[in-house]
Amino acid sequence: SQNPQNAFQTLSQSYITSSKECSVQSCLYQFTSVELLMGNNKLLCESCTERKQKHQKKTNSTEKKMEGVYTNARKQLLISSVPAILILHLKRFHQAGLSLRKVNRHVDFPLILDLAPFCSASCKNVADGARVLYSLYGIVEHSGSMRGGHYAAYVKVRTPSKKLLEHISTTKNVLGGQWVYVSDAHVQMVPESRVLNAQAYLLFYERLL
Which structural domains are found in the chain, ordered by start?
A: 4-34+76-207 (3.90.70.10), 39-71 (no CATH)
Contact 66, 53 (CB under 8 A): yes
Model confidence pLDDT, tens digit, residues 23-72: 999 999 988 888 889 989 888 888 888 888 887 777 766 555 668 889 89
- Rounded to 5 degrees, φ, ψ at 71 are -140, 160
The model's confidence at residue 171, banded by pLDDT at 50, 70 and 90, is: very low
DSSP string, 46-73: HHHHHHHHHHHHHTT---SSPPPEEE-E
Note the pLDDT of residue 64.
Answer: 57
How many C-alpha atoms does 200 have within 13 Å on its Cβ side?
26
Alpha-carbon dihedral 63, 68, 73, 79, rounded to 10 degrees: 160
d(CA 114, CA 134): 6
Write out pLDDT tens, residues 66-115: 688 898 988 888 888 899 999 999 988 877 778 788 888 899 999 999 99
Over pLDDT 70: what percentage of the chain?
84
Q: In the predicted model, is pLDDT for residue 173 greater than 70?
A: no
Q: Average of pLDDT values for 166-179?
A: 58
Is 50 exceeded by the pLDDT of residue 146? Answer: yes
The most confident of the ranges 48-62, 130-144, 161-175 is 130-144
CA 83 to chain centre: 12
Question: Whole-angstrom Cα distance, residue 203 to residue 134?
Answer: 11
For residue 160, how far is the Cα from the chain centroid? 30
Mean pLDDT of 112-133: 86
Average pLDDT over residues 164-189: 71
Per the CB < 8 A criterion, the answer to whether 101 and 146 are in contact is: yes
Residue 175 has pLDDT above 70, yes or no: no
Give the CA-trace dihedral at 156, 160, 166, 168, to 10 degrees.
Answer: -60
Q: Which amino acid is at 86?
A: L
- Please tell me the predicted confidence (pLDDT) of residue 3: 60
Is 198 a residue whose pLDDT tops 80?
A: yes
Exposed, middle or buried: residue 116 (CB in 10 Å: 0-12, 13-18, 19+)? buried
**Average pLDDT of the chain, as a whole number:** 82
**pLDDT score at 169:** 44
Cβ(201)–Cβ(154) under 8 Å?
A: no
